[in-house]
Amino acid sequence: MAMAQNPNRPIWLHESNRSIQVIDQRLLPHELKILTLSTVDDVVYAICEMVVRGAPLIGVTAAYGVYLAGLSAPENGYASYFEAACQKIKAARPTAVNLAWAVDRVSAAAASASSVETLRRLALAEADAICRMEVDNCRRIGRYGLELIRRIAEKKNGEPVRILTHCNAGWLACVEYGTATAPIYAAHEAGIPIHVWVDETRPLNQGARLTAWELGRAGIPHTVITDNAGGHLMQHRMVDAVMVGTDRTTHTGDVANKIGTYLKALAARDNGIPFYVALPSSTFDWTLEDGVQQIPIEERNPEEVTLVQGLHDGKIFSVRVPPETSPAANYAFDVTPARLVTGFITERGVCNATKESILSLFPDKISKNSN
């Protein structure tokens, strides 16, 4: 399949319609390997182990995972089998709300099925619809974010607009374009000079490995920096805006994203630099009020902190950094309070980080949070 040779999406349905194929993001940028996911267990493994990662992509993978559950469901008793599989997929990772959102959506779309055949057909149609919708959302986020970048560019006399980003909120994390990277790609396509500061994003280095790879392939000037460099760059007026993605944002404006995002927001506020969060509506949590207290923060295997992976002599190796006897802790996300966020870039436009402003873009969600 041509796409497998040089994919520009991290996921696609196999032509047999019986499995999905994904880029194994654990090996990028050093090796481009495609994995085939045929069962619910494959999908749960891929999400847990971060073969696929990034909130929108986790949602799309989970949606197809629900379809795969339908494929393996028995003719008799398919409903209970299907429900158990949905719960298993939902439990794969706790922070990105897209996971439960996508599973619930596909499961609801298939709920009316009176046979396992119908269930499979409805589940596939809904998973495809979610995938198409996320592509479209990212494209729209790009258009709205482009206007923000254009306004900054107008004051720069042709000098590059310098954007700092954290983790990977690009097409690898979504399906196409990305969220935080969509305005960057749109500005690049519009001929606006751009330079991106790429936080390496320890411990798994999604910035250094994935965002840098994406930007390099697109020919966008960028520089990888240590996670601790952002504050220094902001103090010295070397950053015009921060743009990040998110794994879950409350409808009150609190933003869960990759660990370290909060520190970038603090430094941006101290230096009067705009801090934008780009997200599709599937990443809003319409139920939680207080992100700091209520968003579940994933804690991952401490070995991701103690071991660092890289390329040496053409092979990917892991090496240990701290002493073998030192314990490590691996908090995967943090929450940036709404008061530090300049604005949200969504598929429906840009809004402030307040409940009122968010709901003014999404009035159809008001019934779900009447308080």
Contact by Cβ (8 Å): 273, 239: yes
- Least gap, CB of 203 to ligand MRU (angstroms): 10
- Selection from 6, 256, 245 nearest residue 134 by Cα: 245
- Selection from 160, 148, 86 nearest residue 123 by Cα: 86
- The total number of residues written for the chain in this structure: 371
- 247 catalytic? Reply is yes
- Least gap, CB of 107 to ligand MRU (angstroms): 22
CA distance linking residue 15 with residue 161, whole number of Å: 42
- By beta-carbon proximity to ligand MRU, the closer residue of 55 and 198 is 55
Nearest-10 crossing angle of helices 55-72, 40-48? 160
- Least gap, CB of 283 to ligand MRU (angstroms): 7
- Least gap, CB of 130 to ligand MRU (angstroms): 15
Contact by Cβ (8 Å): 263, 231: yes
- By beta-carbon proximity to ligand MRU, the closer residue of 56 and 145 is 56
**DSSP letter assigned to residue 209:** I
- By beta-carbon proximity to ligand MRU, the closer residue of 135 and 174 is 174
Nearest-10 crossing angle of helices 55-72, 78-90? 160
Tokens of 49: 């182990």
Contact set with ligand MRU (CB under 6 A): 53-56, 96, 167, 169, 173-174, 178-179, 206, 245-247, 257-258, 332
- By beta-carbon proximity to ligand MRU, the closer residue of 169 and 350 is 169
Contact by Cβ (8 Å): 308, 321: yes
- By beta-carbon proximity to ligand MRU, the closer residue of 107 and 179 is 179
- By beta-carbon proximity to ligand MRU, the closer residue of 71 and 297 is 297
Catalytic residue among 42, 199, 227, 247: 247
- Least gap, CB of 115 to ligand MRU (angstroms): 36
CA distance linking residue 146 with residue 28, whole number of Å: 28
Contact by Cβ (8 Å): 170, 132: no
Identity at 17, one-letter amino acid code: N
**DSSP letter assigned to residue 159:** P
Count CB-CB contacts under 10 A for residue 72.
17
Q: In three state form, how does the secondary structure of 215-243 look?
A: HHHHCCCEEEECCCCHHHHHHCCCCCEEE
- Least gap, CB of 235 to ligand MRU (angstroms): 24
- Give the CB-nearest residue to ligand MRU: 245
Residues labelled as active-site residues: 247
